[in-house]
Amino acid sequence: MKHETIRACSIWRALDVVGDVPVMLILEQAFLGHHRFEEFVAEAGLARSVVSNRLAGLVKAGVLAKPVGRRGGYSLTEMGRDLFQVALTIRRWQHRWEPGERDISVRLVHLDCGASIKPQARCGVCREEVDPRAVDWAPGPGLAQVTPVYTRRRQQTAAASAKRGTRTMVDSVIELFGDRWATLVVRACFTGINRFDEIQRDTLMATNILSGRIERLLAQGIIKAVPYSAHQDRFEYRLTEKGRDLYPVLLALLQWGDRWFADEKGPPLLLTHRSCGNPLVMVIACSHCGGSLEPANTAFDGNVSGNAPA
Ligand SMILES: [Zn+2]
Ligand SMILES: [Zn+2]
């Protein structure tokens, strides 16, 4: 019997921890400064059972630390704080492509320059903005194959995990990365795998599930169908500009996965920034002064009508 495996790059390993809609909503609240169980329930609009289940999982994974004492809250560990880039790249995409109520209610302030800013994804060496077309991917020494296990929990949507009588507001970028199947389709497109049967081989999804994810990504304007033969029913799926702009989110997941899950063999994927010839290390930079954004020099400010610097 042949072993059915897929590429276990660090994106996959990272998604094993954070690729879940309720988990992403809880982490978002943690970065906004919420720590307590009741705050997660209220702010993320999730059912109590879902919050308690996901908090336990995040503690077990090492992303959150349990409350100390009766009145303490959950805190981000070093591993959890290191998801800051992922949070910023998600916010960056959201702000650019689907700004909404959730987006404008929180401002991001770079404390080093004092400006209210947008995060930008840049090469850590040459500081050029990261464009996937200027990055080469090669298999690294740690690339392994895994047999994917798709559990039911992973498919839980925001609607299913919402509190009774409420509708959880979820950005489509969270819905997308909260679903490992959709993310694998996007990963395939970024690595030059564009046809239905090739994506199916790369992801090992059942064809009906793959069809469903492709339909949703088409409806969201993340990918487009391009005919590749004279027969009009032969399509390949290519990323749109909106889809290509998800690249920094994937890179942030990859870098987080490399830092926390790579084995001694080395990283599973090697990225080269063709513009400068160096291994690509993405940094998230301030749109105002160009400095790198870190948890320590960045603040979220909920007061939109407040004293925005000029
Ligand atoms: Zn560069
Ligand atoms: Zn700045």
Please enumerate in sequence order all residues whose Cβ is within 8 A of that of 72, keeping only pairs 6 or more positions apart, or say none: 35
Q: Are 141 and 264 in contact (CB under 8 A)?
A: no
Q: Which two tokens stand for residue 4?
A: 């059915």
Give the C-alpha distances (Å, rounded to integers) separating 82 from 27, 124, 142: 12, 16, 21
Residue 79 resides in a domain: yes
- In this predicted structure, the answer to whether residue 280 has a pLDDT above a threshold of 80 is yes
List the beta bridge partners of residue 7. 145
**In the structure encoding, which two tokens stand for residue 159, read together?**
């609607």
pLDDT of 35 above 50: yes
**Distance between Cα 167 and ligand 2 center (Å):** 35
What share of the chain has pLDDT > 90, as a percent? 56
Going from the Cα of 284 to the center of ligand 1, the distance in angstroms, rounded, reads 13
Beta strand 223-227 with 235-239: parallel, antiparallel or unpaired?
antiparallel
Q: In this structure, which ligand is nearest to the CA of 277?
A: 1
Tell me whether residue 195 is in a domain.
no
Q: List C-alpha distances in Å: 191 to 130, 136, 183, 277.
A: 16, 9, 12, 19
Tens of pLDDT, residue by residue over 57-95, are 999 999 999 988 777 899 999 999 999 999 999 989 988
Domain count within the chain: 1
Mean pLDDT of the chain: 85
More confident position, 2 or 148: 148
Q: Give the separation between CA 46 and CA 125, rounded to whole angstroms.
A: 41
Alpha helices in the chain (DSSP H): 10-18, 21-31, 37-44, 48-61, 78-81, 84-97, 101-104, 158-161, 172-177, 180-190, 196-203, 207-219, 241-244, 247-261
Q: What is the pLDDT of residue 164?
A: 62
Tell me whether residue 224 is in a domain: no
Determine, yes or no, domain membership for 175: no
Residue 78: inside a domain: yes
The pair phi, psi for residue 26, each rounded to 5°, is: -65, -45
In a domain, 192, yes or no: no
pLDDT greater at residue 139 or residue 185: 185
Does residue 126 sit within a domain?
yes
Distances (CA, A) of 2 to 5, 147: 9, 11
Is the model's pLDDT at 148 over the cut of 80? Answer: no
With a cut of 70, say whether residue 239 has pLDDT above it: yes
DSSP secondary structure letter of residue 195: B
CA of 286 to the centre of ligand 2 (A): 5
pLDDT at 95: 86
Pick the ligand that lies closest to the CA of residue 288: 2
Residue 246 has pLDDT above 60, yes or no: yes
pTM of the model: 0.88
Average pLDDT over residues 220-239: 88
Which residue range(s) make up the domain with 36?
A: 6-163+243-301
- 223 three-class SS: strand
| Residue with more model confidence, 139 or 121 | 121
Residues pairing with 278 in the sheet: 273
Task: Please name which ligand lies nearest the alpha carbon of 112.
Answer: 2
- The ligand with the least distance to the CA atom of 111 is 2
The residue written with tokens 């982490």 in the block is 27
| Whole-Å CA distances, 211 to 15, 214, 216, 235, 255 | 21, 5, 9, 13, 29
pLDDT at residue 155 is higher than 60: no
Residue length of the chain: 310
In this prediction, residue 140 carries a pLDDT of: 78
**Which CATH number does the domain housing residue 252 bear?**
1.10.10.10
CA dihedral 207, 212, 214, 215 (to 10 degrees): 140
Rounded to an integer, the average pLDDT of 214-230 is 92
Question: How many A from CA of 284 to the centre of ligand 2?
Answer: 11
Residue 191 placed within a domain: no
In this prediction, residue 223 carries a pLDDT of: 97
Confidence at residue 310, expressed as pLDDT on a 0 to 100 scale = 34
What pLDDT score does 84 carry?
A: 94
Q: What whole-number distance in Å separates Cα of residue 113 and Cα of residue 128?
A: 20
Ligand nearest to the CA of 119: 2
CA of 131 to the centre of ligand 2 (A): 22
